[in-house]
Chain A
Amino acid sequence: MNRLIAYKIAQAVPVVLLVSVLAFLLMLLMPGDPAVVIAGEQASPEAIAAVRRSLGLDRPVLAQLGLWLGHLAQGDFGSSLVLNQTVLSAVAERLPVTLSLTGLSLAITLPVGIAIGAIAAYHRQTWVDSLVMSAALVGVSIPAFWIAILAVILFCVILGWFPSSGYVPLLQDPALWLQSLVLPAGILSLFQIGFLARMTRSAMLDVLSQDFIRTARAKGLSEWVTVGKHAFRNALILVITATGILLSAAIGGSVVIEQVFALPGIGRLVVQAILARDYPLVQGVMLIYGFTFVAINLTVDLAYTYADPRVRYD
């Protein structure tokens, strides 16, 4: 087991390195001279030269890459041009919002999506199945930001049930925290529920058609034990993989949702950084995102191997 963990971690190392190089290349892709963009169009040649020197842009590309990786190795992700903050502190400040949003969304998605998918699989090819699966299909086809605006109009403006924007920290007032996040998290879950329901259904169908289920039924186990225990537990293995995908997708979706609900999270930070051409901040946040996703994938991989002893490395 330890060897396996070491192997998986070793496999993630080149991916982390590649993500860092990709984030570096992102800066090179920028049209025009980055130093001019950063210093501003009206900046004097001396100011531009100073920016170029301070960012190391006057050196060869490989040297720049080395410098960039060296800074990263020391935990230096760069600094924002606009916020007068380092990337790490800007992200740390907004982390609780994004964590709350994605965590709450996942807490809604997992039980609902799994239940819906399992019910559809159990009642396969009946009206229940088609109804549930049609709803799931609609869920993955509707743009989240659009339905979010409609929901704001309905629940916040017309009905007045929730505040339309803003965020209250959990420690400050848990009830208001929940109230400020239920709607965004719910909208964020729509797509994920559709996705998870479709995935769970096919996993359940797969398991339900296997021999050991027939055996369980034949030896007279109750339907509840057969489906609830034998089938469901086997289908759950897939849910581990799904959780990883859903968590990544929730973080991706939070970028748009935070923008609509004006939640001061990391997603909103990166969009504002892009619009303000705060390139070092964009680059730093993207890199942190990348490391997060690699970590999520690694965790899923390990959890999967742990849950299903048949899975071994090739």
Chain B
Amino acid sequence: MTEAMVATSASGTLAPRRRFMLLRRLATHRSFQIGFAVVLLLALAAVFAPLLSGLDPSAMKVRARFKPPSQAYLFGTDMFGRDIFTRVLYGARVSLWVGLVVACVSGFLGAVIGILAAQFRALDALVMRLMDALMSFPAILLALGITAALGPRMESVIIALSVAYVPAGVRIVRASALVVRELDYVQAARIAGASQLRIMLRHILPNSVGPLLVHMSFVFAYSILAEAALSFLGVGVQPPTSSWGNIIAEGRDYATQAWWVMLFPGLGISLAALGLNLLGDGLRDVLDPRLKGVG
């Protein structure tokens, strides 16, 4: 009893300090710094797109077709005379939004399903076989199939990619939950009469958050790449709404004459994915040191 009390009070005072330490270690982690700066910059550019460019992303100007990058048109113009800089800014809104929502939704569902599967063993076999079935597909193909059924829209892309990335999250959370639920302090909580819900939320979930966050930052990066690929193929976000993927698709036919149309959105995708991968690497080194350096 005294032991338990000592443990609680000790963890009570240690927890905030430990969290603070993690934040400090994150703040000094080189690749996290770079990744965070890149992602923040892109996010700000997306949010403040209307302020950064006074133009309408779909305003056409026939006389200004295929203008190369210049002072007036920073990234040049496309076959309809639309400003590529503006389109890339507004495309960032779509692409980053899709990535963010997919990371959050798949992470949330992964946590819920993963913990339930670990806690209620009867569910486990069925859920995990279903996850195996979903996971046997590469995400891009699974998403392709689902968007084919749901129709080419941004919402379909979000749903499709969320479904595609849930199984990996489930596996991560379930794996750590299976370890944690056997630990002494969880057993102690159970004996002390803690409810199933309290054990899941208060004791098991916090231990899975680290690996899950790392996973989510990579899912964010993958989703941006996948959304771009789907929109490029014509099954994702549809014109006239600009997304990085469909600007490239539109610029592709004129790539030899007007290289700038497809160059800049591609740089946007690469930069966003690179930033998120760096950020994820940093998060992993700090939150999940056992996995240091794993691809």
**Chain A interface residues toward B at CB < 8 A:** 14-15, 18-19, 22-23, 26-27, 29-31, 136-138, 140-147, 149-150, 152-153, 157, 195-199, 201-202, 205, 248-249, 251-253, 255-256, 259, 270-271, 274-275, 279, 282, 286, 289-290, 293-294, 297
Contacts and interface: CB of A to CB of B under 8 A. Distances in A.
Contact of B144 (A152, A248, A270): A270
Given A145-B232, A149-B255, A195-B295, A255 B150 contact: no
22 contacts: A26-B146, A26-B148, A29-B150, A137-B277, A140-B277, A141-B274, A143-B228, A143-B270, A149-B252, A150-B266, A197-B295, A198-B295, A201-B295, A202-B295, A252-B139, A255-B141, A256-B233, A274-B235, A275-B234, A275-B235, A290-B137, A293-B136
A270 B145 CA distance: 9
B147 to A, nearest CB: 8
B140 interface: yes
Interface string B41-79: 000000000000000000000000000000000000000
A89 to B, nearest CB: 21
Interface stretch (B96-104, B127-135, B190-198, B207-215): B127-135
Given A19-B136, A149-B262, A29 B149 contact: yes
B149 A30 contact: yes
B141 A252 contact: yes
A58 B81 CA distance: 51
A297 B252 contact: no
B256 interface: yes
B139 A19 contact: no
A235 to B, nearest CB: 13
B151 interface: yes
Contacts of A143: 225, 228-229, 232, 245, 248, 266, 269-270, 273
Contacts of B139: 252
Closest 7 CB pairs of A and B: A198-B295, A252-B138, A146-B266, A18-B133, A29-B149, A141-B273, A141-B274
Contacts of A248: 136-138
B259 interface: yes
Nearest to B252: A149
B104 to A, nearest CB: 21
Contacts of B148: 26, 274, 279, 282
B295 A141 contact: no
A141 B136 contact: no
Which size bracket describes the interface of B in this complex?
Answer: 35 or more
B140 A255 contact: yes
Contacts of B266: 142-143, 146-147, 150
Given A274-B144, A290-B136, A290-B137, A146 B234 contact: no
Contacts of B130: 18
Contacts of A144: 229
- The dominant DSSP class at the A interface is helix
B293 interface: yes
Contact of B293 (A153, A202, A251, A255): A202
Interface string B269-280: 110011001100
Given A143-B225, A202-B295, A275-B235, A153 B138 contact: no
Contacts of B1: none
Contacts of A157: 256
Contacts of A147: 266
B29 to A, nearest CB: 14
Contacts of B259: 153
A153 B256 contact: yes
A255 B270 contact: no
B233 A293 contact: no
B294 interface: yes
Interface string B132-169: 11101111110011111111000000000000000000
B221 interface: yes
A33 to B, nearest CB: 14
Interface in B4-20: none
B74 to A, nearest CB: 19
A259 B274 contact: no
B56 to A, nearest CB: 25
Nearest to B292: A202
Contacts of B144: 255, 270-271, 274
B75 to A, nearest CB: 15
Contacts of A259: 233
Contacts of A22: 133-134
Nearest to A121: B293
A255 B234 CA distance: 13
Contact of A27 (B149, B245, B262, B295): B149
B294 A15 contact: no
B133 A19 contact: yes
A39 B221 CA distance: 40
B248 A146 contact: yes
Contacts of A26: 145-146, 148-149
Contacts of A205: 293
B262 A146 contact: yes
Contact of A137 (B235, B263, B274): B274
Nearest to A12: B132
Contacts of A282: 145, 148
A184 B281 CA distance: 29
Nearest to A14: B129
A282 B234 CA distance: 15
